[in-house]
Amino acid sequence: AEMGDRLVVWAVAINVLLTVAQVLGGWMADSVALIADGVHNFSDAAALVLAFGARRLARRGPSPAMSVGWDRAEVVAALVNYVALILVALWLLAEAAGRLANPPEVAGWPVVWLALLALVIDLGTAALTFRLAKDSVNIRAAFLHNLADAGASVAVIVGGVMILLWDFRLVDPVLTIAISAIILWHVAGEIRPVLRILMLGAPPECDCTDVATRLAAIE
């Protein structure tokens, strides 16, 4: 458990530093796609912070007030993470839409180098959290976000190269819209099982009729 906590702390620190670098670099290069990638990385860092707190809460045993313990804290943290991602994606969509008509000039080299750095860090963070993702729905959410971020970073790299070669500035808001769409698509698939758990829904593989029959047979 302590080793798992250390992995989470390292992953948070790396993602926070990357977020600062990407947001500052995006602001200096006037690239909303790079800022979008940085904000997405920050959401990963926030998700990992929630995961760290939830993991520690989940270790508390049952008490008179919390008769089943704190295991569901991780599920609540996952839900908070997904809602935050939805809000970030909607904000990015609005920002990119405003730039479609008149895309500003973007400095290509900072975009390429910072996106390369982001790709390396995203893959490294995913590797750090891979082992923990097998046993935790919340860590799994953070792990999958890092993989999605890696894909987004590749797209930003391609966009930076296109800006350098052909001055195709429209690619920046287009990539931002694409990253936002990926975020929303990812959340749509992952939030449903989390909501099912919080709503006390039966597991999909469970035969509820059989369970009810067996319970009814007990005097």
List the one residue out of 112, 130, 131 whose CA is nearest residue 122.
130
**How many separate helices (H) and strands (E) can be counted in the chain?**
7, 0
Q: Which two three-digit tokens encode residue 219?
A: 């005097």
Give the tens place of pLDDT for each residue, 169-212. Answer: 888 889 888 888 877 887 888 888 889 888 888 887 777 888 88
Quick one: pLDDT band at residue 218, thresholds 50, 70, 90? very high
Share the mean pLDDT of the chain. Answer: 81
Three-state DSSP class for 176?
Answer: helix
Q: Is the pLDDT of residue 217 over 90?
A: yes
Rounded Cα distance between 163 and 16, Å, is: 27
Mean pLDDT of 25-38: 84
- Give the range among 33-37, 41-45, 66-70 with minimum mean pLDDT: 41-45
Q: Is 72 in contact with 123 (CB distance < 8 Å)?
A: no
Quick one: pLDDT band at residue 1, thresholds 50, 70, 90? low
H-helix or E-strand spanning residue 205: none
Q: Does 177 or 144 have the greater pLDDT score?
A: 177
Quick one: pLDDT band at residue 133, thresholds 50, 70, 90? low
Q: Is 106 in contact with 163 (CB distance < 8 Å)?
A: yes
Q: Is the pLDDT of residue 41 over 80?
A: no
- Any idea what DSSP says for residue 204? T
- Give the range among 45-54, 66-75, 88-97, 114-123 with minimum mean pLDDT: 45-54
List the one residue out of 42, 31, 30 whose CA is nearest residue 87.
42
Nearby residues of 93 by Cβ (< 8 Å), 6 or more positions away? 176, 177, 180
Nearby residues of 101 by Cβ (< 8 Å), 6 or more positions away? none
